[in-house]
Amino acid sequence: MALLSVLTPVLAVVLCLVIGFMLVRSRETETTSTPPRKTEGPKKADFRPWVDQDLQDDTEITAKEEEDGDWADSHEEEDLLHVPYSPPRYPEETMLQRSKDLYTLMNQRRSVRFISPEPVPREVIDDVIRTAGTAPSGAHTEPWTFVVVSDPDTKHQIRQIVEEEEEVNYRQRMGDKWVNDLAKLKTNWIKDYLDVAPYLVLVFKQTYGILPKDKKRTHYYNEISVSISCGILLAALQNVGLVTVTSTPLNCGPQLRILLKRPANEKLLILLPVGYPASDATVPDLKRKPLDDIMVHI
């Protein structure tokens, strides 16, 4: 009995050590056998419903894209000739007057949702598009395609696609805050102007170029380049007395690309109904920020 009383504490210690060892081994096994957790999706605070999923195209070429296509080598292009450049230089008084005149003209530009069906000369639209095509672009790749639609049936199909998606946007995707911010502008998912305007201009960005022999060309900063061309396009429309509203129909890009038979490298950036303002057109009485609020002079 004396021997048993001495051994009992020892046996208890050994038993505890064995149990502890078994627990450690069990945890190690679970750690190695459990697959890694999937990366969590964007947090609610990071969710940005206004970012069209069809526009998620990086300028950088991914490894998969590099493997999937035959990309052109920039060294394959011929040397570019450089020529003298001497634009007109105006006296300071003329410069000041021209700057004021252009500001006065552009300050009258408004987003107009009430557009007249009155025909617009096709030559005017051609020149406006040519003007937009003078925009600068990354490595002069000119990554833009302007699809001009005047066919009534095609315009109506575009309207059906846009309104169907826009109703979902307003009711589900955009959220209360965004919808409330738009309420003062009295805008909704009904887009009558898509049928009424004599022209619809759909601006696509080319995420890469397609060269002869199916080679691909990198289009650097394609979205920024096309956005600049859109700004020039708006100025050109204002210059000839036409109006538009900058429409960015969320998640309509793929359907419209297929409808208009555009290739897979093109993604819709903006949709512009173009025409004269309707005789009863109205616009919100908005004010623009003063110069001190938008410029910092250092």
**Tens digits of residue pLDDT in 74-101:** 555 568 899 999 999 999 999 999 999 9
Instruction: Report the b/e string of 94-126 with b at 16+ CB within 10 A.
Output: eeeeeeeeeeeeeeeebebbbbbeeebeeebbe
Distance of CA 167 to CAs 87, 171, 250, Å? Answer: 49, 6, 10
Asked whether residue 27 carries a pLDDT value surpassing 60, the answer given is no
In the chain, % of residues over pLDDT 90: 58
Residue 190's pLDDT is what? 73
Asked whether residue 60 carries a pLDDT value surpassing 50, the answer given is no
Q: Stretch 122-149: mean pLDDT, rounded?
A: 97
What are the tens digits of pLDDT across the range 172-183?
A: 666 666 666 666
**Band of pLDDT at residue 120, cut at 50, 70 and 90:** very high
Q: Cα-flanking dihedrals φ and ψ of residue 27, to 5°? A: -65, -40
In angstroms, the CA 246 to CA 124 distance is: 19
**Band of pLDDT at residue 35, cut at 50, 70 and 90:** very low
Closest CA to 168 of 273, 252, 45: 252
Domain boundaries, the chain: 117-149+197-277
- Number of Cβ atoms within 10 Å of the Cβ of 259: 17
Asked whether residue 44 carries a pLDDT value surpassing 70, the answer given is no
Cα 245 vs. chain centroid, distance in angstroms?
16
Contact of 231 with 207, CB cutoff 8 Å: no
Residue 251's pLDDT is what? 82
Class of domain 117-149+197-277: alpha beta
In one-letter notation, the amino acid at residue 249 is P
- CA–CA–CA angle 194, 206, 64 (5° rounding): 130
Q: Stretch 240-266: mean pLDDT, rounded?
A: 93
Asked whether residue 36 carries a pLDDT value surpassing 60, the answer given is no
DSSP 221-252: THHHHHHHHHHHHHHHHHHTT-BB--B--TT-
In angstroms, the CA 180 to CA 187 distance is: 10
Q: Cα-flanking dihedrals φ and ψ of residue 247, to 5°? A: -105, 130
What are the tens digits of pLDDT across the range 202-242?
A: 999 999 999 888 889 999 999 999 999 999 999 999 999 99
Q: Stretch 253-260: mean pLDDT, rounded?
A: 94
